[in-house]
Structures are given as structure tokens and as C-alpha cells.
Structure 1
Amino acid sequence: MTRRFDGAASAGRPVRVGLDVGGSKTEALALDAEGRVVARHRCGSVRGPAGVVETVRDAVAVLCGPSSALRAESVGIGIPGQVEAPSGRVRHAVNLELRDLDLGRILEQELGAPVTIENDVKVAAVGACRLRGRAAESLAYLNLGTGVAAGVVVDGVLQRGVGGVAGEIGHLSVDPRGAACPCGQRGCIETVAGGGAVARRWGGIGDLPVLEMFDAADRGDERALRLRGELAGGVAAAVRLLVLTLDVPAVLLGGGLANLGDRLRAVVVDELRGAAEASDFLGSLRVDERLEMLPPGSGAPALGAAHVGAEVGTVRTAPV
């Protein structure tokens, strides 16, 4: 670690800072008392314990440093991995090369402000509620990135579960004879709907293999059509699972694969409608009408992190 940045001691208007610290990039923003975004900053992420601390400290310094008119009164951070709340200890974050690190305590010492750390998908669900202007609503946010996971908010309460793993539906096995999953099971939703698994199975040569696969499917390539169908089926299964277990009025798709936009939504909706046509029960639920896309570049994880961080000490969490 290098010098300590005392954001709380800086003069200026108090703001709530939120950061989305990913494996390659970090997005930070500051909210005023009315919840308006008054500053943003994006930078690369440095991995490892010292690197993550440096990334967060430097990003907060850009927003709330000595020369800024802003002062960090709270800091919320979303990271990909297993986080122990409310302590802020990171048990496992592979993409950031963190393991069993008391990151919350370390960053509070570095920043001189209260710090709350939460899983990035969970804070994205909170951010999605705020973007919709309904902080107390119920919804599920389905993140389709390298893996698959969900964040759930019920009546404004973020659902964590007793061990913080609520929403890890990517590791629900839907085909015991399916492909092996890194979690040790077979046929998990993630093996057909996770971006990493789809890219490996497609084996494309481009920088965006899933997009390449969609393009090939549009041209009628049989293997691409099969993989796209399996992806759509996996996402549809995850959406139905969230609706059937929680009866949320909306399931928002986000993450890297959601950048496909309507191309992804269309094939998932087709799967949902096909299942509904074969089942009066599913048809009555109108699952396809509950599916929405999180707008690209919405900043939901950083926004949610700022709101969760502002509630430090009074975060309303509930077991499922």
C-alpha cells in the first residue's frame, strides 16, 4: 500500500461514492443528497490485494481528492466474487485475484470513510431499481457475463441468503447428463448460457465469439443455430426459475451478453413463448412480458453500490 487518502477529511460537498470494480475496468460515480450523479470516472483495474486497493483509492481520489469540491461521506463497492456481509471480507474473487481478504477494513483505513462491499450482481439489482425510479419495488436482475448469476430485490430489500449466495442460479443443474461445470456438477445453466462456456464451445477466432456465433446463426450455420438455441434455452430457464420462485414482476437482463440487445431478447422470448404454448400454467404467468433489457452503459452496478454504501450500518438485507 502507498499513501493513505483521507476522503472524509477533504473539504467539500458530501457525496455517496459507488464503484463497480471489474476484472479489467472500474467505474466510479458520486451521488449528491438527491441521488443525482454529479461526477463519474472510469479506469483500468489492477488485480491482486494491493492492486485493488490502489484502484479504489485512486478512483475515489479523482472524484473526491483535495482539489475536488466533493467529499466522500460513504463508499460502496461492487466486486465479482463471494463477499461476506456486513464485514466486507472478500472470500473469493477469482477475476481480481483476491482470496480471504478483509478488504472493507483495509479500504476504510485508506479512505477515511465508511466502506461497504457487496457482490457486483447484487448491487446491480439495487441500481436497476434506482434507474427505474422505484427503490422499493421487486425485481430480479439476471447477469449474463462470463458466468450466470442473479440479484434479487423484494419490496426494496436486497436478498442475500444466510451465506451470501442467493441468486447463484447459474449453478442450478438443468441436465444431469450435460456438460461438466467448474462447480463440479453437470448441466448447470452456466454451461449453456454463460458467455465463457458459449465462447469455448463455438471456438471462434474473433474478439467477440458469441457475437460471431449469432452472426453465423443469422446466416443459417447449423452449429451456430444449435448453440444459439441452447443459449436461449438456458437463459429462458433462468428467467422462468426467477419468476416461479419469486414471482417478481420484472426480470432484467444485463451483463456482457446483454450487449446483443434485441437479438438476444428475441430468441429468449421465442423460447419462453414456446414453453407457454405447451403449458397453460406457464402461459397464465406471461413470463415473456416480464423480460426486460437493462439499458447498455446504464452504470447500474456503480449506482447500486453507491446506494448500498450510503446505508452502511443500516443495510436492509434478508435471508431467502
Structure 2
Amino acid sequence: MRVGLDVGGTKTDAVVVDDDARVLARTRLATGWGVDAVGATIVRAVDLVAAEAGVGRDEIRSVGIGMPGQVAPGSTRVVHAVNLGVHDLDVASTVEPMLGLPVRVENDVKAAALGAHALHGAGTGTMAYLNLGTGVAAGIVVDGQLWRGAGGSAGEVGHISVDPAGPPCRCGQRGCIEALAGGGAVAERWGRPGALPVRDVFDAADAGDPRAVALRADLARGVASAIRVLVLTADVDTVVIGGGLSALGERLTGPVADELDAGAAASAFIRSLHLRDRATLLPPASPAAALGAALVGRASEEVLAHG
């Protein structure tokens, strides 16, 4: 048995998986704020999901954790996880003594990419997981392994500028994919209070609000641009779309498909890539990030086993 945790800014998703990466139990709980509370959340999540699966800690071989922020490859140190109130945290040093289990940590989007790859049953080939949340980022999986690039930034498509005259991005550029399609940027440009501002934009666009129509069009343009970039640069077989905005379902994929079709109509080369057919949506409420974290834990275990 292995445990995987997706530690998010508001909730932590936990799963227990077997050797075949089948999810045997799943639970969710609120995530605490700050270093001490995040550590306590991790320990509690492991115990809760183990109890749900009917197993004890002695039956768990590893714990993998996906977290927002920067994680140096091969380390368990997380920095700049601002949504968790964490500036700098060595997760293993904090929770391994309390759990008595080996711990491995990965960036949450990269962990979700591994989980999405496993859920699609793809043992070989290439896949990009495009996460549409507050920001926009992607993880690339090649033959079951994360492809990080020379410095670990492979898949950071959110800060590719596709419109130099577009809206300002928090990175200092203009017209970045994230400035067009990131949930935080859309909410800021919408400027109206609401629990789900991107959904509100889509509702207003459906009702004919011209500003909302323009924002929805920008969002579709940003997502379509991300898909083009991932295929044109990494030539991935599939782009799997996940993250909070994926809950919009066909309301999102419809405008994105239209945007991809418009680009294909203008270029025989782009048509030959069949971009629309290579993009798919992650199933709602998928445990991709937590599952991927469990696989990260397994990978660490295999490295130790093979010296």
C-alpha cells in the first residue's frame, strides 16, 4: 500500500493505492495554514485515509506528497508555497519522524501529470497535463517519467506571451497564456465579487454581456495557445486538461475547440497536427494529483531498492 496526498490551499486530497496504482480508498480534509498546520494536516490525512482503507501505518510503504510551490528535483524541500502560508519547508524532516514512513515530495502539477498519465492507461508515449487553475502550468510525461528539462521548467507554458498587446501578467510581460486563461487573472479582469468568478464570467457571456464575451474568448484563446505550444514544442500524443477550470466541462472545451479549428482553417500545417483530437478533459473529481503523488512515492522507493 502507498499513500498519495494532494495538499492544496483549501483542501487535502488523500488516496491509498496498491501496486497496480488502483485507488483503494480516498478522503479529503481541510488544509491548515502555515508550516506547523500543514505538517499536522499531512499526518492526519495519512491516518484518515489509512483508516478508510482498513490498513495500519505498518502496511504503508511510502507517502508521496504533491504541493504547490517550487520543489527541487530529488528533494523534499518546498519553497514559495504562498497558498499554504509556507515560505520554506523541508517536508520530510517535518513529518517523517511523526509518520515513521519514507516521504517524497513533488510539485502538485507535476504530480498530477503522473496521475493523469496513469489514469489514461498510457505506459508509453508522451502526454502533457495542462492545469487550468488560479494560474496555468503543465507537466510533461514521457514513457511514464516526468520530463523536467535542463532546469526543471519544462511545461511552464503559462508565461509564454502570445499577445504582446494583451493584458499585463504578474510575471511582468503582457499577453501571457496565464494572463488570458488563468483563473486569477480572469477574476481580476472581471472585477466583480463572487465565489466562482470564472463561472460567473461564462454565465454572463451566455447572457450576452459583451465584456464577459471578450473575457471568455481570451480564455479560450489562451487555452488553445497552450495546447498548440505543447504539441509544437514537445509533440505530445495527448494534452489532458485538468485543474479547477476544467469543471466547466463542455462550456470550456467548446470555445477552445472553436479556437483550435479557426487556427487550423488558416494553416494546412496546423490542420495536419489534429490539435482538437489530441486534447481531452480529465474526468470530473479525478484523483489525478493524489494518485500521481503516490506514484512519486513509489518511484522514490524503487530508487532506494535499486541502489
TM-score (norm 1): 0.90
Quote the offset at 1:214 in angstroms: 0.8
Q: How does 1:127-166 map to 2 (within 5 A)?
A: 127-166=115-154
Identity %: 56
Counterpart Cα distance in 2 of 1:181 and 1:221: 24
Q: Is 1:229 aligned to residue 217 of structure 2?
A: yes
Misfit runs of 4+, over 3 Å = none
> Displacement of 1:115 after TM fit?
0.7
Choose between structure 1 and 2: higher helix proportion: 2
201-210 vs 190-199, which deviates more? 201-210
1:91 and 2:74 matched? no
Question: Which residue number in structure 1 is paired with residue 35 of structure 2?
Answer: 49
For the residue of structure 1 that corresponds to 2:300, the secondary structure is coil
Aligned to 1:274: 262
The SS at the match of 2:163 is coil
AA matched with 1:119: N
Helix, strand or coil: the match of 1:183? coil
- Answer yes or no: is 1:36 the counterpart of 2:57: no
| Per-residue CA distance 1:89-143 (angstroms, 9 max, x = gap) | 1122111121232122322222111111001111111111111122333111100
Range with greater deviation from structure 2 (207-216 or 74-83): 207-216
Could you tell me whether the CA contact under 8 Å between 1:84 and 1:91 is conserved in 2? Answer: no
Aligned to 1:286: 274
How far apart are residue 210 of structure 1 and its match? Answer: 1.1
Select between 177-186 and 144-153 the one with higher mean Cα deviation.
177-186
Measure the CA separation in 2 of the matches of 1:34 and 1:227: 43
Mapped partners of 1:19, 1:165: distance in 2:
23
SS at match of 2:21: coil
Equivalent residues in 2 for 1:1-320 (5 A)?
A: 15-64=1-50, 68-70=54-56, 71-312=59-300, 314=302
* Stretch deviating more after TM superposition (226-235 or 135-144): 135-144
Structure 2 counterpart of 1:189, one-letter code: I
**How many angstroms does 1:146 deviate by?**
0.4
Q: Which runs of 5+ in 2 are unaligned?
A: none
* CA offset digits 1:220-265 (Å, max 9, x no partner): 2211111111110011000000000111111111111110001100
Count of aligned pairs? 300
Following TM superposition, by how much is the alpha carbon of 1:49 offset from its aligned partner in structure 2, in angstroms? 0.9
Query: For the residues of structure 2 that align with 1:277 and 1:240, how far apart are their CA atoms?
Result: 14
State the TM-score, normalized to the length of structure 2: 0.93
| Contact 1:148 1:170 (8 Å CA) reproduced | yes
The one-letter code of the counterpart of 1:163 is: G
Q: Equivalents in 1 of 2:166, 2:251: separation in Å?
A: 26
The structural deviation recorded for 1:158 is 0.5
Structure 1 vs Structure 2 CA RMSD: 1.6
Please give the secondary structure, in 2, of the residue aligned with 1:187. Answer: coil
- The more displaced of 262-271 and 129-138 is 129-138
Quickly say closer, same or farther: Cα 1:105–1:165, change in 2 above 3 A.
farther
TM-fit CA distance, 1:154: 1.1
Give me the whole-angstrom Cα distance separating, in 1, the residues matched to 2:93 and 2:152: 19
Shift of 1:313: 5.1
Letter in 2 for 1:73: R
Unmatched runs of 5 consecutive residues or more in structure 1: 1-14, 316-320
Give me the whole-angstrom Cα distance separating, in 2, the residues matched to 1:34 and 1:237: 35
Q: Deviations over 1:142-193 (max 9, x none)?
A: 0000000001101211112343322111111222333222222222111110
Q: Is the 8 A contact 2:62 2:301 kept in 1?
A: no
Matching residue's letter, 1:288: R
Q: Is the 8 A contact 2:21 2:291 kept in 1?
A: no
